[in-house]
């Protein structure tokens, strides 16, 4: 009777390839086809997230601490996700396993009342109704590679907006400007650095001299370049791109596209924007010098996307 032999490298690879995909279970529900909404800062991610989050049974989060910790770890050190892909995927899954939990303390629909300590970490009464999951955290775009590895059936919705309007909003947002403070940019160890939009040593050397408008334009440019690469890597079945400027007056069409893509009944009413500075408001909000700095920094992308 022949002795059992250890499997060859080829057999080991075959065995690994035949293993079932990882399935995350949250609140007793298997997470299938989670939807992640991506975009540059102030590109309209919140608007699409609101529409998806109002779909019955859809639990879509944004800005949960566990997720932001992972997002900014990858954003500031993109090499982590590339060099340690399996570890990055595990970190992302763990982050969402925590973020998507619905307890009396985390559920937005639960009344604000005293809860017994023994029930604080248990699923709330709404948890069983959540059968779809997603996230639209700020700067989630920079974790796209880790998200693909963590959830092999994930769907992505990305929003594109005129970089000049984006920069105008960034300049009025202290949280956006905080990233440009000295010491925040990890430029010596990370090149290219998609989060700050820096790709060459020359750009890195010039970066400290740039104005806030130019630095903001670099961030937008880096984001749309990442979005373009993502379109090349994912098929239409997994990636939907929406243009912010097409939403006003086109809410019905956008809702239909979102509904078909995500297999969820999205309401066009939820895509109606209120309280926004408006499309093209950069014309009155940016100085001539700022406009020229943005144009000089991101001319190619503005032109390619039809904004020039």
Q: Which of 3, 165, 185, 213 is nearest to 78 (CA)?
A: 185
Residue 4 domain-assigned (yes or no): no
49 with 170, same domain?
no
Residue 2 domain-assigned (yes or no): no
The pLDDT of residue 191 is above 90: no
Query: 178 lies in which domain range?
Result: 163-234+278-308
CB 52 within 8 A of CB 134: yes
pLDDT at 112: 62
179 with 266, same domain?
no
pLDDT at 50: 93
DSSP class per residue in the chain = -PPP-PPPHHHHHHHHHHSPPP--EETTEE--S-EEEEESTTSSHHHHHHHHHTSTTEEEE-S-HHHHHHHHHHHH-HHHHHHSHHHHHHHHHHHHHHHT---TTT-TTS-S----GGGTTS--TTGGG--EEEE--TTGGGGHHHHHHH-TT-EEEEEE--HHHHHHHHHT-HHHHGGGSTT---TTT-SSBTTTTB-SHHHHHHGGGS-HHHHHHHHHHHHHHHHHHHHHHS-TTTEEEEEGGGSTT-HHHHHHHHHHHHTS---GGGG---S---TTTHHHHS-HHHHHHHHHHHHHHHHHTT--
Mean pLDDT value across the chain: 85
pLDDT at 36: 98
Q: What is the pLDDT of residues 105-145, one digit of tens each?
A: 667 766 665 665 555 567 766 666 788 999 999 999 999 98
The pLDDT of residue 19 is above 90: no
38 with 182, same domain?
no
Neighbours of 233 (CB within 10 A): 12
The pLDDT of residue 204 is above 60: yes
The pLDDT of residue 2 is above 70: no
Question: Mean pLDDT over residues 204-210, rounded?
Answer: 93
pTM, rounded to two decimals: 0.86
The pLDDT of residue 20 is above 80: no
99 with 150, same domain?
yes
Question: Mean pLDDT over residues 45-67, rounded?
Answer: 93
Residue 201 domain-assigned (yes or no): yes
124 with 267, same domain?
yes
77 with 132, same domain?
yes
Give the integer Cα–Cα distance in Å for 213 and 216. Answer: 5
Residue 31 domain-assigned (yes or no): yes
Q: Which of 285, 207, 208 is nearest to 199 (CA)?
A: 207
50 with 171, same domain?
no
Judged by average pLDDT, the poorest of 22-31, 122-131, 149-158, 186-195 is: 122-131
197 with 259, same domain?
no
Q: What is the pLDDT of residues 174-189, one digit of tens each?
A: 999 999 988 776 677 7
Q: What is the pLDDT of residues 252-264, one digit of tens each?
A: 999 999 999 999 9
Residue 16 domain-assigned (yes or no): no
Give the integer Cα–Cα distance in Å for 257 and 8. Answer: 48
CB 102 within 8 A of CB 126: yes
15 by Cβ neighbours in 10 Å (0-12 / 13-18 / 19+) ranks as exposed
Residue 11 domain-assigned (yes or no): no
User: What sign does the CA torsion over 38, 283, 176, 98 have?
Assistant: negative
Question: Mean pLDDT over residues 182-198, rounded?
Answer: 82
Q: What is the CATH number of the domain that holds 157?
A: 3.40.50
Higher-pLDDT residue of 31, 104:
31
pLDDT at 113: 59
247 with 283, same domain?
no
pLDDT at 83: 64
Residue 8 domain-assigned (yes or no): no
Q: Give me the percent of the chain exceeding a pLDDT of 90.
A: 64
The pLDDT of residue 201 is above 70: yes
187 with 259, same domain?
no
42 with 157, same domain?
yes
Give the integer Cα–Cα distance in Å for 168 and 77. Answer: 27
Residue 301 domain-assigned (yes or no): yes
Give the Å distances, CA to CA, from 137 to 149, 199, 228, 245.
18, 24, 20, 21
Give the integer Cα–Cα distance in Å for 184 and 3. Answer: 60
Judged by average pLDDT, the poorest of 166-175, 205-214, 271-280 is: 271-280
In the chain, the number of structural domains is 2
Question: Mean pLDDT over residues 296-302, rounded?
Answer: 96
Q: How far apart are the first and last CA of the chain?
A: 77
193 with 220, same domain?
yes
pLDDT at 109: 67
pLDDT at 190: 79
Give the integer Cα–Cα distance in Å for 89 and 51. Answer: 27
């Amino acid at each position: 009777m022949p002795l059992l032999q250890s499997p060859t490298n080829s057999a080991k690879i075959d065995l690994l390839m035949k293993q079932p995909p990882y399935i995350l279970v949250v609140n007793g529900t298997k997470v299938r086809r989670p939807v992640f909404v991506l975009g540059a800062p102030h590109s309209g991610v919140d608007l699409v997230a609101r529409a998806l989050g109002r779909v019955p049974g859809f639990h879509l989060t944004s800005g949960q601490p566990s997720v932001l910790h992972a997002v900014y770890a990858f954003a500031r050190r993109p090499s982590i996700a590339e060099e340690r892909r399996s570890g990055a995927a595990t970190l992302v899954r763990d982050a969402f396993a925590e973020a998507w939990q619905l307890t009396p303390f985390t559920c937005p629909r639960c009344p604000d009342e005293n809860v017994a300590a023994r029930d604080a970490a248990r699923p709330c009464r709404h948890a069983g109704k959540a059968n779809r999951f997603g996230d639209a955290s700020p700067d989630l775009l920079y974790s796209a590679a880790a998200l693909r590895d963590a959830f092999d059936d994930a769907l992505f919705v990305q929003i594109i907006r005129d970089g000049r309007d984006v920069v105008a909003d960034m300049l009025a947002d202290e949280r956006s400007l905080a990233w440009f403070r000295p010491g925040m940019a990890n430029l010596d160890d990370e090149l290219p650095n998609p989060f700050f939009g820096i790709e060459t040593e020359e750009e890195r050397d010039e970066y400290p001299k740039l104005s806030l408008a130019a630095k903001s334009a670099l961030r937008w440019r880096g984001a749309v370049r990442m979005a373009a690469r993502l379109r090349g890597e994912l098929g239409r079945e997994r990636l939907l791109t929406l243009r912010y400027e097409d939403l006003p007056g086109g809410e019905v069409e956008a809702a239909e596209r979102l509904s078909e893509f995500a297999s969820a009944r999205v309401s066009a009413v939820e895509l109606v924007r209120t309280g926004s500075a408006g499309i093209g408001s950069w014309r009155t909000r940016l100085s001539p010098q700022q406009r020229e700095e943005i144009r000089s920094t991101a001319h190619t992308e503005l032109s390619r996307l039809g904004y020039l």
